[in-house]
Amino acid sequence: MTGDRTFKLGSDTTSEPGRYLKSLGEPRRGAGLVDSNYRNVTISSSARPYTYWMLQRSLDAYRELDAVSKSSADTALAGTGWEEVLAFEPRHRLGKQNYQLIWESPGAGSA
């Protein structure tokens, strides 16, 4: 992505997933930093599990679209910087249990 809409999905590329999964229990409050650019200023903040879960929900909804609807969404979002976001493939999934975010077991479906 380019311009003022850039950000980095960094912690997902770790070679030590157990470091972030905490035994498939409750996620840590933060898992690394995310850099965002806003009006030519770089802002670093903690990658929070809730934000990751909301991204996952957006990706799930996008991937459930039929071909015509997905093409319409792609056309509407072209040039906005969302192309990279929609191409993102998370290595781990979050779910909810008793209103709390939890790491889902490997192979779990969409929430």
- pLDDT at position 9 is 44
Averaged over 6-26, what is the pLDDT?
46
29-88 pLDDT per residue, tens = 666 777 878 888 998 887 778 888 899 999 999 999 999 999 999 999 999 888 988 998
- Higher-confidence residue: 21 or 45? 45
- pLDDT at position 25 is 57
* Residue 71 DSSP code: H
Burial of 85 (0-12, 13-18, 19+ CB in 10 A): middle
Sequence ranges of the domains in the chain: 3-103
- Higher-confidence residue: 45 or 6? 45
Report whether 44 contacts 32 (CB < 8 A): no
Nearest to 26 by CA among 92, 111, 84, 96: 96
